[in-house]
Structure 1
Amino acid sequence: MWKADAVALADRISALLTVVRSAEAEIGALLMEIESRGVMELFGYRSVGRLFEHLADVPKAAAENVVKRARALTSSRNLDGTPIPAVAPTTGAAALDGRLSTPMIDTIVGVMTQVPPEHRDNAERDLLSFAEEAGHKQVAALGARILAHLDPDGTEPDTTEPDTTEPATPSRELSLRRKRSGVWELQGRFDDETGARASALLDSLAERRRADDGPDFRSPQERYGDAFSDAIDLALNSPDLPMQAGERAHVMVAVSLEDLKSGVGQATLGDTGRISAAEARIHACDCQIIPAVLGGKGEPLDLGRLRRLVSPGLRRALYLRDRGCAFPGCHRPPRHCQGHHIRHWADGGPTELGNLVLMCGHHHRLLHRSGWQVRIAADGLPEFFPPVFLDRRRKPRRNNLHEPLPFAA
């Protein structure tokens, strides 16, 4: 009887593992479907990894592993419709049936990524056949033998030695260039004093965000990249910034009025850059970027001026009311924030305190792109409604981290 019970318990666990593994594989397939359709358009997130972090409440590394595994198992499509073949499609089908553990999948995928494309079908078939009766460690050993057979000489060792005769570089040098993809590359070398000051500045701006839109799982590189962007915003907002041709430093954005209202389409950034019309809506709220609104034939309808939307007096009122970024759980101070129009000025929204809320750059973009919404409550303070996929009840939330004014209302 005891043995019968043991067998029944083990069988039940095996059945549940099959369900769990099949569900995990289906989640991966759904994430690839979202990615092929455009995660920004569907959910307002920059990547399916960031979306899955919040949906599953898992660390960034775990979410990235799920997405990486799904890409290897599931054929997908680029946004332009071109196919993206899977590295191990047959393994993906077996995973959907719940027949493979996660370590087994990772073992097979790890081998398949090193196998030349012309040998992948045979190698994957051999690995899956062996996986039916062996554990993932044994399959890894078989994979090593397959790779050794395909490349008996192995990787050529690196015999180069570092060049110790490189001449000394200048104490400060910096290069900034734009690639054809629209990505900018920054490289530089600095003396110890400049490096220490830059490190102190970026350290203070690169702290992890604490807010109700989920944990901050950005990598150190991502946090310091965002900190560099924030440092540029702070510098552009400085009244001591030198003039250029009699004007404060600025960037011009040209966008059609129709695209600005709909948020669909593209805008010209500076001389050669391109951004989406949705991004232009964000900058048009309150930024050191001047919006140039064009009519159907390209004629200028409205050429903005720096800070024309939120005046210095109105900005001070926002500082006093919101005390910093108003997004729930965000600790950013007022000097790191922008004025967001609850009803966009391109849609007829007035530039007045009752239609404005103070937000940091990160949460300003999140509000424009996702299902979060904001309103001014009856007591005159902003409150936020999370998207349905985070809270079905959409219970309003407020930021209680900032210190209130030191006197009674």
Structure 2
Amino acid sequence: MTPAAVADRARHIADVRALEQPDSAAIRSAMVATRQITAWAEAQHAALIGRLASVESFPEAVIAEVSKGSLSDAVKARERADTLDAAPAIADALTGGSITTGHVDAITRGCQRLEPGRREEFVERASSLVDVAVAGTIAEYTRRLNLEVKRMQSDDGEDRLTRQRRDTRLSTWTDNEGMWNLRGRFDPVTGIRMAGRLDDAVGILFAEQTPELCPSDPVEKDKFLRAHALDRLVTGITAADDEARDGNDHRAIPISAGSARHAAVLAVIDVDAPAACSCGAASTATTVEWPIPVEVPHRVLVELAADADVVGVVVRNGVVLHAPGEMNLGRSTRLASRHQRRALRSLYRCCAVPGCSVGFDRCKIHHVVWWRHDGRTDLANLLPVCSKHHSRLHADGWVVELGPNRELTITLPGGRVMSTGPPRRSAA
């Protein structure tokens, strides 16, 4: 689709919108024109990202800045651009407005399910099915691509169980209702073990008495009981714990992986500069962080606090003034200790790379002066970064510098510089 054709469609949309009472056919044709213009614009955007990647060592940061979006959105846009670059027929269909970015993203997801060495073949198969994408919905095209993935996996000579074990995944997130969600995919052997363990736990725990608030619907009741059984299997809650918490006489089940642990509550005391107060005294703000990423009622927090291990960390202008445990381990160990991670958590809520919102719990602890270059496992040499940026730091030649107050400067190979001042956490 040419720019002139885009202009024609834009005029048609405006003409339909100008009608006082357009009929259904006119509205539908204008909506199709809107979809085609959007697809054309997305194709141009992807092509520009491809050009950007040839001149910027961290194009995702530029994409996020220009689009006023997040780094995660920028990563998705970069992946889409890479897919279109590898599939010219799909790129032409998008430029012509006959498919949508959803069709392109279905190819990207299919690639991610395959080993890198098989992805080029998959893209070729997906490109040969462009007519299916043009004629069908995103869901229909996705189902067709999933069939191709299964065919390729069955032809790759790899044992199916090995492949399933490799594809085992578990993810967690908090939804808009404040509920903590868990979703996983497990190979059949692991699944059988887990299912059996859950069934046994449900039978032992709830044979005589069900938990409070258990639904009466049989299907929902089963889901409710399995969720509570999983809670007890993971946390190791015993009958005594249950009785102390809610008065119910649930039975204990043997936990092979150790006993229950107390929740650790991190209390971060952020001491501002003395000038912050007119009287000349230092002002403080305290942030209390619970080990659960969800909102809970105040009364529940009070109950948890009574049985929690409260750990206090004092910070000021990017510097940890006090934290329990040894902060400097030198060359004695490569891995950051629990105490060091806790101190870093008191400074950073997420990945230290500017603009990245990946939470601290999903970050790796990076040695600013690399371990292989005789870097030390000391707090001043440690920085939390997400997995994606950690790989970029090591593979793409990013130069990282930390100032005395953890002022961060990242110099990219092309000369672009990203910098931030001392890390700060807002008070709760």
Do both proteins adopt the same fold according to a TM-score greater than 0.5, normalized to the shorter chain? Answer: no
From the two aligned structures, give the one with the greater helix fraction: 2
TM-score range, shorter chain: 0.3 to 0.5
